[in-house]
Amino acid sequence: MSGSEQYGDRSSTGYERPRFWIWTQIFLDALAWVVAVLLSLFLRYEMDYKLVHVPGLVLVCVVAVAAQLMVGSLFALYRGRYSFGSFDEAKALMLVTVIVTSLVQIVLLIFGVSLHMPRSIPLIAFPFALLFMAAVRYLKRMYVESKSKPSAHAPHAVVYGAGFLANTLITQMVQDKDSPYLPVALIDDDPAKKHLRINSVPVSGNITNLRQVMRRSNASVLIIAMANVKSSLMTRVNEELEGMDVRILTAPPLRDVFGNTTGSTLDLRDIRLEDIVGQRAVDINVEGIAKYLTDKRVLVTGAGGSIGSELCRQIAHFSPAELIMLDRDESALQATQISMTGRGLLDGQDTVLADIRDQEALSGIFALRRPQVVFHAAALKHVSLLEQYPNEAWQTNVEGSRNVLQAAASVDVEVFVNVSTDKAADPTTVLGHSKRMAEQMTAWMGNHTDGRYASVRFGNVFGSRGSMLPLFTEQIRRGGPITVTDKDATRYFMTIPEACQLVIQAGAIGAPGEVLILDMGQPVRIYDVARHLIQMSGRNDIEIVFTGLRQGEKLHEDLVGAGEVGTHRGHPQISHTQSVQLDPESLDRHEWKVRGNIPTTQEIPVVPPPEKGTTSNPSDPPDVDADGERGETA
């Protein structure tokens, strides 16, 4: 509890109100000793007030009050050091009372006979004085907390978890009148906490009683107050509350609770899809990564994209000699720069505006900046669009990758990491075939240069630009429907930070020409993702429409292609395989189109004009399918 909460609002009354509280406390403590001494005398004389020697009584009371003032000031009881009714104040009060009792006892041992006062009076008065002073402080605490308690009209919240984090959050909520939620019940799966109460909030059941507890307490919010919550538990909670209009929030980790400097009482967030699907801890070899990044010139293509920008942020932690962020999208570059430095002036050497299709410009940049490590994340990646415009995929994903590879070889780049996709394994789409060729060219370069050229292959990531998650969210915001290709379609998912950590780790352990495949756990049904998002939004009227698989689209993605054998060595979350090599100088667009069953001429779709009396809305979102591919820019 803050000082302003203890003493009231200082801003409006200066220091008058704190002084009022201090003098009130001093008066009440003095009164407690007077009452305690009187009571002890009556008990000592068995209620015969005629035996009381008034001058001696007055002198003992004066000594006790003076001692309380002196010793209490010495231990800062009247300086606002302790929160009202806290254990710290109780310990200090106990010590002060013992010392005061001892002082009064010494006075009576010396002058008790002449004062006509029994020498046992301090010992009898001690528990009464302590009880009275403690009771006053506790009543004061109850008064302060009642004034700061959130309104009964605030949304009722049930807290899942009755541990230390829940204790911290509930204490904050009940002591903040501006708290957005009023805690009314706890649930915990530990039988030992069945009858526990935290700040008068009772444990009312476990996860099997969750629906009943939410209904019985008229709660519209569930706060999950546990650290490192497993995705299986999040899934169970989501399933238990399916069909109910309940907002699910998660509490921050303890380090964030104690490190909160924003001044806000709570820092809760809505449950995210990655909480349900799961986030795994990534084990990285910091020394191995630092060995190839620290004090090196590092260039990242597609630095304005989802993966590229996160790579830049993580690489910066390893103190490279120079970080060169290359992209053709100036706004995306600025956003990346702002996220890293807080500045978006674009006037330094860290940002480079260039298109990987421009071989001459790219070669000039590499010759001038001479990077030692390259992360190639620039690519076109939308399946449907590239099916319509395969030549764009060829020019960016194939020829653009060749340009980057050749520019890197011309300056003897030491480590080259090509960011690939699971669609390159047994490709069936234009995107997959173009990225497969980039892998093969990287493998050829790894076997014909002195540098370590390798590709890193992984599936979809949460939250990338244009990917499934934000598009589903937009469809929900517009009232639906959510469009999914097939009810049984599955995809691999991981978070952007997790993927980038493993990409950087792969750069430390990849051998020349290898394809490194990230372990993405179990594939997730797109239908389940859509259903979870609808549940989390609380809008259970949103419809899910199945549109059917498109040309070349797989029902289930593969990370390892036919004929490839993934082996683990050096890292449990990264497997290694070999790729067929392709000489960058022998690219054949016709052969690529034949192999990928790609039309030999690029057709531009003709959109018929709207019928008479109808209007089209260009802002309507496109149908969203099961592909949640990453959002790098070229």
For the chain, the domains span 3-148, 156-271, 286-465+493-521+558-595
State the pLDDT confidence band at 280, using cuts at 50, 70 and 90. low
What was the pLDDT predicted at 8?
41
Residues 6+ apart with CB under 8 A from 622: 471
| pLDDT tens profile 233-255 | 877 887 888 778 888 888 765 55
CA torsion through residues 237, 239, 243, 249, sign: positive
pLDDT over threshold 70, residue 505: yes
Please report which confidence band the pLDDT of residue 17 belongs to, taking 50, 70 and 90 as the band edges.
Answer: very low
Q: Would the CATH topology of 156-271 be identical to that of 286-465+493-521+558-595? A: yes
In DSSP notation, 160-198 reads E--SHHHHHHHHHHHT-TT-S-EEEEEE-S-GGGTT-EE
Tell me which long-range contacts 390-396 makes (C-beta under 8 A, separation of at least 24).
Answer: 390/430, 390/593, 390/596, 390/598, 390/599, 390/602, 391/602, 393/430, 393/431, 393/433, 393/434, 394/434, 394/589, 394/592, 395/357, 396/356, 396/357, 396/434, 396/634
Tokens at 288, concatenated: 């191995």
Token pair for 296: 């090196």
Most confident of 235-249, 477-491, 518-532: 477-491
255 class by beta-carbon count within 10 Å (0-12 exposed, 13-18 middle, 19+ buried): exposed
* pLDDT at position 111: 85
Cα dihedral 271, 273, 275, 277 sign:
positive
Tell me which residue has tokens 């993966």.
307
Nearest to 472 by CA among 516, 532, 512, 390: 532
- In angstroms, what CA-CA distances link 266 with 145, 199, 211, 259, 599? 17, 17, 25, 12, 57
Q: Which residue has the higher pLDDT, 381 or 263?
A: 381
Whole-number pLDDT of residue 23: 84
Confidence of residue 621 (pLDDT cuts 50, 70, 90): very low
Top pLDDT among 165 and 615 is at 165
Q: Does the pLDDT value for residue 341 go beyond 70?
A: yes
Give the separation between CA 423 and CA 455, rounded to whole angstroms: 13
Q: What average pLDDT does range 47-66 have in this prediction?
A: 84
Q: What integer pLDDT is reported at residue 634 of this predicted model? A: 38
How far is it, in rounded angstroms, from Cα 394 to Cα 387?
A: 11
431 pLDDT band, cuts 50/70/90, is very high
Mean pLDDT of 454-460: 92
For the chain, the average pLDDT equals: 83
User: Computed over its alpha carbons, how large is the radius of gyration of the chain?
Assistant: 35
Residues in the chain, total: 634
Q: Which of the residue ranges 19-28, 317-326, 603-612 would you say has the lowest mean pLDDT? A: 603-612
Mean pLDDT calculated for residue range 580-600: 83
State what percent of residues in the chain have pLDDT above 90.
42
Specify which of 89-93, 151-155, 203-207, 588-592 reaches the highest per-range mean pLDDT.
Answer: 203-207
Instruction: Kindly state the tokens that stand for 42.
Output: 């009556």
Confidence label for 528 from pLDDT (cuts 50, 70 and 90): confident
CA distance 53 to 474: 85
- For residues 573 and 518, is the Cβ–Cβ distance under 8 A? yes
Least confident of 295-309, 315-329, 553-567, 570-584: 553-567
| Between residues 471 and 388, the one the model is more confident about | 388
Q: What is the pLDDT of residue 85?
A: 67
Backbone angles phi, psi at 480, to 5 degrees: 85, 180
Provide the pLDDT for residue 410: 96
* Rounded-to-integer distance, Cα 507 and Cα 296, Å: 14
Distance CA 368, CA 71 (A): 75
Beta strands in 379-496 (DSSP E): 415-419, 452-457, 460-461, 482-484, 490-491, 493-494
Q: What is the pLDDT of residues 545-583, one digit of tens each?
A: 998 888 778 888 888 887 788 788 878 889 999 999 999
Whether residue 2 has pLDDT greater than 50: no
Q: Which of 192, 189, 198 is nearest to 165 (CA)?
A: 198
3-state secondary structure of 209: helix
SS3 487: coil
pLDDT, average across residues 445-451: 95
Residues near 106 by beta carbon (within 8 Å), at least 6 away in sequence: none
Q: Which residue has the higher pLDDT, 304 or 553?
A: 304
For domain 286-465+493-521+558-595, the CATH superfamily is NAD(P)-binding Rossmann-like Domain (3.40.50.720)
CATH assignment, 156-271: 3.40.50.720
pTM: 0.65
> Average pLDDT, stretch 45-74?
85
Beta strands in 188-328 (DSSP E): 197-198, 201-202, 221-224, 247-250, 269-270, 297-301, 322-327
Distance CA 39, CA 124 (A): 9
What pLDDT was estimated at residue 272? Answer: 66
Nearest alpha carbon to residue 220 among 145, 166, 153: 153
Of 67-76, 411-420, 619-628, the range with the lowest mean pLDDT is 619-628
Confidence class of residue 176 from pLDDT cuts 50, 70 and 90? confident
Give the model confidence (pLDDT) of 384-422 as tens digits. 889 999 999 999 999 999 999 999 999 999 999 999 999
Q: What is the pLDDT of residue 263?
A: 43
Residue identified by tokens 């509280």 is 21
